[in-house]
Chains A and B, each alone.
Chain A
Amino acid sequence: MDLLRFITAGSVDDGKSTLIGRLLYDSKNILIDQLEALEKSTRNRSDGSVDLALLTDGLRAEREQGITIDVAYRYFNTPRRKFIIADAPGHVQYTRNMITGASNASLIIILIDARLGVVEQTRRHSIIASLLRIKHVVVAVNKMDLVEFSQDVFNNIVIDYNGVAAQLGLKNITYIPMSALDGDNIVDKSRRISWYTGKPLLEFLEEVQLDEDVNLTDPRFQVQFVIRPQTGELHDYRGYAGKVISGIYKKGDRVTVLPQGIETTIASVESAGKEVEEVFAPQGAVLQLADDIDISRGDSIVKSDNLPQVSNELEVLLCWLDDKPLMTGNKYLLQHNSRLVRAIVKQVEYKIDVNTLQQQPVEGNVKLNEVVKATIKTATPLVYDSYEKLSEYGSAILVDETSNSTVAAVLIK
């Protein structure tokens, strides 16, 4: 069975959590005791209806304030597909939590309140979707019940959002008018929105083509951990454990260890302690090499005829995620999968304005939630591809060594 990971996004109160609740409820993916708990906790609502948002708003503070603070994960399946949902918070203060959920999603549902249309948070989340290159975008025009299911309202929002999408280079957009509260066009097609000829949301999610996201052509492997049992018959065993990030690896392949730049041959490919013919992304593996080379965690093993970039100066887009502002010239740790290097943010060129979606000069420090173009210098060279070419090999985080916090998402140009 296929697996689709998706996220709901959009401004605060647009109905993201309600939508997920409705999706689970109408597809019979809520169990009896969970439903009882839900009914119990919403009994004091004036109209007696259940608040479906409470299915994902799992923290006390969220229930008290009626908002989502951090991303919640839900799991469900239909006979056709398995789904992992991330329910993101809409509030601007919690954007970093939304990015956390979005970074692993291959589809994003951006909700828009039909009464309000495209607002600042719609644009902010769309910028993130475009930065992260999320493959599929669904724009859910929600709360259609509050605008008398008007086709004009819907069409105007489609026109507005098409403008945003064009500016951001977002493609593959599907628009669905709905009422998450009442269940229109979620699992079943709405009779009240008869002018809409497309699919309801669930059917779309079940059918959307998941063109294999996995890159099998550019072999990339980073060492996570060196296995050296140093006992008995395994006395001289030395295996490099890691995940195949992309491509395929076989015994006999000519490979180059980077950043050292030393060439060797794969002596054996193992998985779970057994020798196998080959491994491919995203499998875990242990590689043994023909020559004795000094290799440690974070080093890359790539095919010699297909080399990534190696450089200590990077052009990047940064999403700043920390309350403390970014100061140019500050040192951070840059973590690129399992490789940790010291880095300096040398220069910030421009930021992306959330309202105009244009590049703008940065005055002063870079603040929480700002997206900027910057230059980073690393103490030792990084081995990478551009995020555009190979997202898993072109992404990194910055860590503040004094607080240990993850302070930025890094997308390498």
Chain B
Amino acid sequence: MNNSYHLNYLEQLESESIHIFREVAAQFEKPALLFSGGKDSITLVHLARKAFAPGKIPFPLVHIDTGHNFPEALDFRDALVNQLGATLVVRKVQDTIRQRNLTEPKGKFPSRNWLQTYTLLDTIEEFGFDCCIGGARRDEEKARAKERIFSVRDEFGQWNPKLQRPELWNIYNGKIHKGENVRVFPISNWTELDIWNYIRRENIDLPSIYFAHERKVIQHEGQLVAISEFVQPDEQDIVMTKKVRYRTVGDMTCTAAVESTAETLEEVINEIIATRISERGETRIDDKVTEAAMEDRKKNGYF
């Protein structure tokens, strides 16, 4: 057998994801791609583009905007949408808080992460989305490691981990009742390192904050948090200027920076290979609360 007819693992993962994207486009009437501006959703967009070329991506990108974004990520989002000629829908958590009279989390690092669910469910209802594509990976977290690629949610968006449909071979059953929706995770089987290697292989552009840069930060329980309009130092905080990069891009209020000198993709990948701390563990400020935090959020309609 000729060796050139062989896909390496990245090519295998890519092919699996493209197959999933095409199933989504064909099986659902109104899918949407949830776009956060982070590397996983940027990779998703890249894969979607490949899946439907030379046509356009046949669904809108939806950004559930917490209002606590990195400005670099927002600029990147707008430029990408522009370049793709894609439709972008932005719905703001701030508006949901006002309309639904929700209580803002308080504290020094007020995370709106959990409130995103309300805005997401409202947006699903507003547009009648029957499928939301997300960039969650199973290697991120152990509740995620349990979720199907096509994950059926009830009309409250809830995940029922004890009643998941069998998902056999590469056959995806997207049949749902009215009001339900499906969350689809095309990069379920990718690891953080796979994403980085793929970004290098495909030459995918990323927001600048993924690379080492100088930033004013404070230290919080061993993690570095950037000073911004959303996070202000207390009297006891020591404000330092450090060379950092971000390993994930979430909200400025709950994403920690990593001290780093990696200015190129190559250097970032080397640091990721060498690290002994997980992506979530190193970057999320709000996630250590309970072991079941993610499972609970998902049961409430979160991604």
B-binding residues in A (CB < 8 A)? 1-3, 31-34, 37, 41, 55-61, 63, 69-75, 82, 84, 96-97, 99-100, 103-104, 212, 214, 216, 224-225, 227-229, 234, 237, 239, 241-243, 248, 270-274, 280, 282-284, 286, 297, 321, 333, 335-338, 391-392, 395-397, 399, 401, 404-406, 409
Across the A-B interface, the 10 shortest Cβ-Cβ residue pairs: A273-B53, A58-B142, A33-B281, A272-B50, A404-B175, A224-B22, A284-B18, A3-B9, A229-B55, A103-B168
Question: Is B107 part of the binding interface, using a Cβ–Cβ cutoff of 8 Å?
Answer: no
**In the complex, B62 has a CB within 8 A of chain A:** no
**Cβ contacts under 8 Å, B170 to chain A:** 104, 243, 337, 392
Which one, B19, B143, B277, B282, contacts A59 given CB within 8 A?
B143
Inside 8 A of A84's CB, which chain B residues have their CB?
189
* Assembly CA distance A33 to B281 (angstroms): 6
B241 to chain A, nearest CB (A): 26
Name the B residues within 8 Å of A216 (CB-CB).
1, 5
Taken together as a complex, chains A and B put the C-alpha atoms of A280 and B1 apart, in Å, by: 13
Contacts of A396 in B (CB 8 A): 171
* Given known contacts A73-B138, A225-B25, A321-B166, A33 and B291 CB-to-CB distance under 8 angstroms: no
Task: Classify the interface of chain B: helix, strand, loop or mixed.
Answer: loop
Determine whether the beta carbon of A282 is less than 8 Å from that of B15. Answer: yes
A/B pair count, beta carbons within 8 Å: 178
Residues of B with C-beta under 8 A to A96: 166
With A and B bound together, what is the CA distance between A337 and B143 in angstroms? 28
Among B1, B7, B165, B166, point to the contact of A282 (Cβ < 8 A).
B7
User: How far is A3 from B50 in the complex, measured between Cα atoms in Å?
Assistant: 23
Q: CB-CB < 8 A to B141: which residues of A? A: 58
| 12 pairs, CB–CB < 8 Å, chain A vs chain B | A33-B278, A34-B281, A56-B145, A60-B292, A63-B291, A70-B146, A72-B145, A212-B1, A225-B25, A273-B53, A406-B165, A409-B166
Note all chain A residues with C-beta closer than 8 A to B6. Answer: 212
Minimum CB–CB distance from B6 to chain A (whole Å) comes to 7
The answer to whether B26 touches A224 (Cβ under 8 A) is yes
- Alpha-carbon distance A288/B167, docked complex (angstroms): 31
In the complex, chain B residues whose CB is within 8 Å of the CB of A273: 50, 53-54
Known: A56-B145, A69-B162. 16 other contacts (CB 8 A): A31-B278, A59-B161, A61-B162, A70-B164, A100-B148, A224-B22, A225-B25, A225-B52, A234-B55, A241-B51, A248-B5, A273-B50, A283-B15, A397-B171, A397-B173, A399-B175
Q: Which residue of B lies closest to A286 (CB)?
A: B53
Contacts of A337 in B (CB 8 A): 170-171
**Is the beta-carbon distance between A224 and B168 smaller than 8 angstroms?**
no
Contact between B26 and A297, CB atoms less than 8 A apart: yes
| A63 CA to B142 CA, complexed, in Å | 12
Whole-angstrom distance between the Cβ of B37 and the nearest chain A Cβ: 23
Check A404–B176 contact: CB distance below 8 A.
yes
Identify B295's interface contact among A1, A59, A270, CB under 8 A. A59
